[in-house]
Amino acid sequence: MPTAVVIGGSLAGMCAARVLSDFVDGVTIIERDAYPLTHDFRPGVPQARHLHNLLARGLREYESLFPGFKRKMLDSGAIPVESGWDVATRLPHGWARRGHSELWQLYASRPLIESTVRELCQRLKNVTFVERADVTGLRATREPYPYCTGVEVRSRDEGTTRTLDADLVVDASGAHSKAAEWLRQMGLEAPEDEIVDGLTGYSSRWFRYKE
């Protein structure tokens, strides 16, 4: 009965859990924060307050992983936008020419996207969420060769620690990852950090429309 643990209950973590649910008997998602009860922002996603839009490929992939995702998003207020036609784009040499692309994206808040994915992920019978918990280390064996056997989890509310056995551990904790530190504690060589500079940035601002 193979099992898996996913460290981090972000969008990436929930998508990883959804894929793993097809191959293992049980997946446990460990999330350091408590999920909001409504479509609200949570501390672990500081970039969530920026304007968000789900591009055509992303929309396609979410729908593939979680059938009904698009319909649920639209019913909750997401705005469909056709790339190249509904959006005006200004480039260094002027405004880009508009045209129909048949590529649809969804404009929505980050909390709406996350809560929709989470609701659909929670419907999976073999996926379990553990909130307000920190993974403090990896469990491993060295026989016949080093491999991970689970994780140590500490409750943020009770302060107690327990071991979760797993045949596969996926680290989806992003910037909070301590994977390199854990590997070194196990006496293994951690990969060097690789920083890719995309040479880009973005900012957004809310405006109130006055009629």
**Torsion sign over Cα 44, 38, 57, 11:** positive
Backbone angles phi, psi at 29, to 5 degrees: -100, 125
Residues 17 and 29: their CA atoms lie apart, in Å, by 7
Q: What is the pLDDT along the chain (211 residues), one digit of tens a residue?
A: 799 999 999 999 999 999 999 999 999 999 999 998 877 777 767 677 777 889 999 999 999 999 999 999 999 999 999 988 998 888 889 999 999 999 999 999 899 999 999 999 999 999 999 999 999 999 988 888 888 899 999 999 999 999 999 999 999 998 788 988 988 888 888 888 777 888 877 777 778 878 7
Architecture of the domain defined by 1-44+124-211 = 3-Layer(bba) Sandwich (3.50)
* Segments making up each domain of the chain, as ranges: 1-44+124-211, 53-108
10 Å CB burial of residue 5 (0-12, 13-18, 19+) is buried
